[in-house]
Amino acid sequence: MNKLTRKLDSVVKRTLNPIAPFSFDGTFYKPSHFPIGDKDFETDIYWQTLNYQDQIYGLKFLNVGSVEVPKVDMSIYYNRTEPDSETIQKISNEIELRFNLRENLEPFYEGLINDDVLRDAFSRWRGMHVSTAYSLYEFLVVTTVLQNTVVRRSVQMMQNLFSRFGTLIHYDNKELFAFWVPEEILLSSEDELRELKVGYRAKTLYRQALEFGHNKLAYQENIESLEKADLRKKLLSIYGVGPATVQYLLFEVFKNYDDIEHLPPWEQKIFSKILYDEELVEPEKILSEIDRRWGKWKMLAIHYLFEDLFWLRKNRDIPWLEKLIRL
C-alpha cells in the first residue's frame, strides 16, 4: 500500500536567529495539538518533515541559544541533489514565517504587563510564538479531519491519509511522514478517499485538492497579500472552511491576533473552566470578556493560557481536562 521508506542521508545546516525573546520549546511544540506522525519533539529538539516546492526534506531544529539570546541550528536532510543556496534560503524564510521567528513580542508583553490572568503563563512561556508547521493546503487537511469528530478518529484519519498519500521518510533515526501535494489526491478519487474512513470529508478533501492543485498561484502567496476583511472572505470561500476553521487559519497561519468572532465548543468548555471555573459559560460572555481584557492581543493571549494549560497537563493530572480530551 504505502510507498517505500525514503532515506534522507545527506544534510546541510543553517543557523536561524529568532528575535528575542524566543522560547524554542513553546514555539516549536504545541501540546494542545493532536499528535500527527509528521513531527517529533523533545526538550530543545524538534523534527518535522517538509514538502516544499515538490521536494521532500527532513528538518531537525536544535536549540543552541536561550530565551534572551536565541539561536537555532537547522539541519535539512535530503537525498539525491543537494539544495542550492537559493533553495536553502527559501526554506529558511518559509520556516521563519511559519514559526513566526521574526516577530518581536515585546509590545505584546508591555501591553499586558499588569495582567494577573496571564502572569503565570508569561513567566513560564516568555518568548512563545504562535506557529504552524504547515502550508495553507496542509493546514486545511488537518482542520478537515478534525471537524465533527473526536480526537481519536482525527488521528486515525490522518494516519490513513499519510499511509496512502504521504511518503515515509527516514532521517536522523526518525521515521516520519511527509505530506503529499494536492495533485496526488487528484490522481485518486472521492470513493477511494472514503475507504480511508474519512467519511463525508472525502468530498472536502477532494475539492480542496482541486482548488489548490489546479490553481496553485491563487493561493498562499497571493492570498497572503490580501487585506484582512478580504482574507477572511477568501478563506471562507474555500470549500470546507467555516467559522471555526477560518479562525484557526487567521490565527495560526496568518498570525492575526485581534480577530475572534466565534468560539467553538471545545474552546468554550476550556475557557469556561479557566476563566470562570464553571462548566459551561455562554460563548458571547466569554468572547466579550476576552475582548475587554486583551483587546488587539486577544488571540495571542488566549493562546498562552491554552498552551500553558496543556504543558501543565504533561506533568500533572488535570481530571476535568482529561474528560474533555476524548481519545
- Give every CB contact of residue 266 below 8 A, 6+ residues apart in sequence: 324
**Residue among 118 and 249 whose Cβ is closer to DNA:** 249
305 and 121 Cβ atoms separated by less than 8 Å: yes
Torsion, CA 143, CA 219, CA 205, CA 150, rounded to 10: 0
Q: How far is the CB of 205 from DNA (least distance, A)?
A: 12
**Residue among 90 and 203 whose Cβ is closer to DNA:** 203
Binding flags for DNA, 134-163, as an x/- string (CB under 7 A) = ---------x--xxxxxxxx--x-------
For residue 324, state whether it binds DNA (rule: CB under 7 A): yes
**Residue among 148 and 225 whose Cβ is closer to DNA:** 148
3-state secondary structure of 160: helix
For residue 32, state whether it binds DNA (rule: CB under 7 A): yes
Torsion, CA 231, CA 232, CA 234, CA 238, rounded to 10: 140
**Residue among 10 and 156 whose Cβ is closer to DNA:** 156
Buried b (16+ CB within 10 A) or exposed e, 220-246: eeebeeeeeeebbebbeebebbeebbb
- Give every CB contact of residue 208 below 8 A, 6+ residues apart in sequence: 137, 140, 141, 144, 182, 238, 239, 240
C-alpha to C-alpha distance for 209 and 170, rounded to whole angstroms: 26
Q: Which positions from 58 through 117 interact with DNA, judged by CB under 7 A?
A: none
Binding flags for DNA, 225-264, as an x/- string (CB under 7 A) = -------------xxxxxxxxx-----------------x
Binding flags for DNA, 181-200, as an x/- string (CB under 7 A) = -------------x--xxxx
Q: Which positions from 204 through 223 interact with DNA, judged by CB under 7 A?
A: 204
**Residue among 196 and 290 whose Cβ is closer to DNA:** 196
Q: How far is the CB of 88 from DNA (least distance, A)?
A: 32
Sheet bearing 55-63, strands edge to edge = 10-16, 72-78, 55-63, 45-52, 39-42
**Residue among 107 and 243 whose Cβ is closer to DNA:** 243
Count interface residues toward DNA (CB under 7 A). Answer: 36
Contact residues toward DNA (CB under 7 A) are 32-34, 143, 146-153, 156, 194, 197-201, 203-204, 238-246, 264-266, 324-326
